[in-house]
């Protein structure tokens, strides 16, 4: 996480969702990804394990099309006979959305959790959307996805000390009398004391570079902590306090 001079070098782009209504796939974050990766061509390693109803080949093709448009390329890890080496040699790591439970299980089964964490903390850029954003957290306990498979544990990459709830919604569908998303997250923060949860609304993302983190996108994020009343954070707001190491607890 730190350079030889003590500078924080971790770089993260954590996106709530891949697609806004009426837009092309990866349309809304495309320019953010371009800016994040820079002008020099990057060959990124794509982890498609969250794909369930789409083949990994088709998933790779879909993401590759967008990355080529912004001057970068990806190669999916599922082509590699040695996934660990693929992670170690990656110029950037990109983790797509889908089912978080399958993503975590396959990442664990391939022995990649510690290797991805080490690689990203050493300065390799990490981009994740939806399930891929969840995977940057200490655990996947704040995912919205159905547990269609059982991973070895809830432990994810642990690149940040807080949790993310992608696709955060403020209201329930009409006629639904069950718990709201806010109530579910409040349950988590009451049981898991000392851990923030960031509710990322559609079209928003967290950008962490050089020890600082900010919110980007057209909507606010909602911050949850303990039994306190949730607060709103706006686009461009400095959220660097969420990266404090004293919050690294699960």
Catalytic residues: 130, 145, 167
CA 157/CA 136 separation, integer angstroms: 5
Phi, psi of 81 (to 5 degrees): -80, -10
Compute the CA torsion angle 153, 140, 66, 36 (nearest 10 deg): -110
HSE, side-chain direction, 13 A CA sphere, residue 130: 21
Q: Are 91 and 44 in contact (CB under 8 A)?
A: yes
Terminal C-alpha separation, the chain:
19
Place of tokens 């570079």: 209
Q: Are 92 and 45 in contact (CB under 8 A)?
A: yes
Q: Are 198 and 165 in contact (CB under 8 A)?
A: yes
């Amino acid at each position: 996480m730190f350079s030889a001079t003590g500078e924080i070098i971790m770089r993260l782009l954590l996106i709530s969702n891949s697609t806004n209504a009426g837009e092309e796939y990866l349309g809304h974050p495309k320019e953010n990804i371009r800016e994040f990766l820079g002008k020099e061509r990057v060959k990124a390693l794509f982890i498609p394990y969250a794909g369930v109803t789409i083949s990994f080949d088709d998933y790779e093709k879909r993401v590759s099309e967008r990355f080529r448009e912004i001057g970068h390329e990806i190669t999916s890890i599922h082509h590699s006979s040695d996934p660990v080496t693929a992670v170690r040699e990656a110029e950037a790591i990109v983790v797509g959305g889908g089912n978080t439970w399958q993503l975590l299980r396959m990442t664990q089964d391939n022995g990649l959790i510690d290797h991805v964490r080490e690689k990203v903390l050493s300065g390799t850029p990490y981009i994740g959307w939806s399930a891929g954003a969840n995977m940057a957290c200490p655990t996947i306990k704040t995912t919205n996805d159905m547990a269609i498979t059982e991973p070895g544990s809830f432990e994810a990459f642990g690149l940040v000390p807080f949790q993310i709830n992608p696709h955060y919604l403020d209201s329930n569908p009409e006629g639904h009398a069950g718990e709201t998303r806010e109530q579910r997250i409040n349950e988590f923060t009451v049981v898991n004391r000392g851990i923030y949860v960031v509710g990322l609304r559609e079209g928003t993302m967290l950008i962490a570079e050089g020890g600082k983190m900010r919110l980007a996108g057209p909507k606010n994020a909602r911050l949850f902590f303990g039994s306190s009343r949730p607060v709103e954070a706006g686009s461009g707001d400095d959220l660097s306090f969420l990266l404090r190491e004293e919050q690294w607890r699960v």
